[in-house]
Every structure is written in structure tokens, then in C-alpha cells.
Structure 1
Amino acid sequence: MASSEHPGSQATKVSLSINAHTEETTASSTSSSSLQFFEEHGYFCQPNADIGALIEKLYDEKRAGDQDVNLAYFASVLQSIDSMTELLGQYPNVRPFKELWGIVPRSYYSWDNPSTTKNGMIIYLLGPKSKGTCLDGSHLRRDDVKGLGDDHTIHAPNNKWTDRFSKAEYDQVDGGILCVHPVLWHKTESGRSIVFGAKRNDNKR
């Protein structure tokens, strides 16, 4: 998994968003609206070598945990991606949340339960050779899971919680961006990332 950081800074606003490629079994389909795709499927994945190179450099230099490495640190790259501009434009409130993340390959996990989730989005900035699986539409599940795993996420107790959803696999050789709904079941199977959170202005889930 990884070490974590929770900088004490207050939520800030960014004018960003995301253009992505994801598919049902191969994480690589285009959507005319990244926001629409995210809200329907619960995830959005965009390959981007510049993000991958930044993440790799930060880890190699042992600076990934530095307080100045926040979402705004990556703004120049994110602003150049039309789909990111659309998506983060609807989720402009960056939360004081940051995790240095590795892999959770053996079970599907989510960051929140349906009864407690806010209108938010989890943003993985992926280093090179990042692979994983999202369960399409699982952000619409209604049942809560009690307790947290050692990594402070919520793990699906067994296959009954996950088998009804289609798998969408992503394989970002050069790195990129993965946005997931806080309730979406997913796995991170290889690679390193830095994780941030953002929130909508409205009351939409």
C-alpha cells in the first residue's frame, strides 16, 4: 500500500477537469463527456505520460510526500487535458486529503460507504506501469460494509459484493489519471500513485 499524508490545508478550488479512455474489459474507450462517463460508470481513466513522469520523479527523489506536492502542483499538465478540465471543473473543491499509494491487488476496495459518501471524487495520479480493475457501476450499490482495512479503505467482504458488476481493466504503461467515485469497488494491481480528493459544489451524489 503506501504511507499517507493529510496536510492540514483547507479545501481549495481548482479549474481543472479530465478526458479519458476506459472500456468495459480493457479500460480504453472514449467518451464525448468525461463527466457523463464518470457519473454513469463511476470511474474515468486517462493515459498521460507527463503525469507518469512527474510521479516517477517525485518518488525517485523521495519528494512525493512533500507538502507542496498537492493537486495544484500538477495543474499545468491537468489543464492541458480537455477531459480533466471538464471533470475537475465540476469537482472544483480540492480536499485536504493525500495518500501515497501502492497496490491493493487481492480484494476490491472503496474509499467510502453509500450511506456516508459525499458528492466527491478520488483522483489517482498514476506512475508508469500502473494496472488495475474497476467494477463498472458499483458506485451505485446501496449496502454498507462495516469496518476498515489496514489501509483505511473499505474492502468487499466476498465475491457476492462484486460478481454482479462488469470488470473494466486499465493498463497505463506510461502513467496517467484515474478518477473514481468514493463508493466504487476497484483494485490497484501494480504501479505507484499519489491520491487526492475533490468535491462538487452542488448536492448531487
Structure 2
Amino acid sequence: MTTPPFGVPAAANPYQPLPRQPVQGGPKRVSGKQKGFFAALVVVALGLGTLGAFGFAAVVRSAGPPVAGSCLYLTSLGSKTQTYTGADCSDQAATYRVDTVAKGRSSCRGEDYVPFELYLSARSTTRPTQTLCLALNVASGECVRDVSDESKVGKVACDDPKAEARAVVHDGERSAASCGEKDLSLVYVGPPVRTVCLQPTGASI
């Protein structure tokens, strides 16, 4: 088990989970349906398209859960298991930024967030203690791979063969219209408010 060290970074980059882009053509916007992520220390698949998180009370209490403004990344321990680890938002490994933290089960303000539910015990999976709204942590010019998989998406060099999209971040803007026709748009109400446009590789990279 990994104890996720969380702290509130000074200024985090905007970012968020991305739906998978097709093999040919640019990324397409996914429907408002989101995969639910339930996490604390260990994430275990519970059903179709849903990850269930089971943390351990002692670990959660000693380390503390993520807070708004902190960043993290997910690590796969197998086909059905994930762990999350806190990271400085400037770290390339920091895939997600926690925009908001709500008590209990809550929906995020926007369909582009990845909801992440925290549980205190593996025996208590019906009522999460908190819901984190995760946004992709990217800055303009950064490239990402595995855009369609919230648990695997990550930042890579733009000349990496695995790069699928290049990010352009519009700070202070809250509209998909800020992005091009072939871009995948991710609108975050924050704070801070911003719109992330993911341009398919080959388009001005």
C-alpha cells in the first residue's frame, strides 16, 4: 500500500481526464456519462465501467485525503487494481488536479470531471466520505497518451510515438467553442476556470 502524500501546491496546472480518441481523426467529445472512480488507497473494479475504491481507515487518517488544489496520479497494480499517489502539480507524473472536494457522494460541476469517491473502509463501500472532482493536469504545449482511459492517461514528450494529443489551455474561459473542430474540449469551472483543448497529434505539433 502506498500512503499518498498530499499537500496544496502553490499553483497547479489545469487538467482533466480524457475520453479515448478514435484511431483516425481527432478526439471526439464523450457523452455526459462518466466513469465513476472510487478511491482512497486501493481501487478495485466492482462493475461495468466503474472502479470501486477501498481505503484503510488507519492509513487515510494518518495521511489525510487529497485537498482542493493538490495533484495526484494513478498507478495500476493489475487488471483490476489501482493506487493513487499525491504529487507536486509541476511534476510530469501528476496526471490529475483536485479542483473540488465535497462531503459524501456528490456530482461534479461539469461533465468533463472524473468523480473520485473516498471510502474509509473496505467494508464500507456504500457511503463515500468524500467525492473529489479530478481535472486533467496539463499546461499548454504538453502532450498526452491514452486519452480514452482515465486510469492510464499520462503526459509524454510530444515526439513520443505514444502521444495522442497536444494540450492548449485557455485560462479564464469556460466554453468548448474555444477549441477547434477536431479538438477534444474539457471545460473546468475550477477554480480556476479554464478550458483545455486537446489537439490530435499531427495538428500543429
**TM above 0.5, one fold?**
no
Relative to its length, the structure with more helix (as a share) is 1
Which structure is higher in RCO with an 8 Å CA cutoff and minimum separation 6?
1
Larger Rg computed on CA atoms? 2
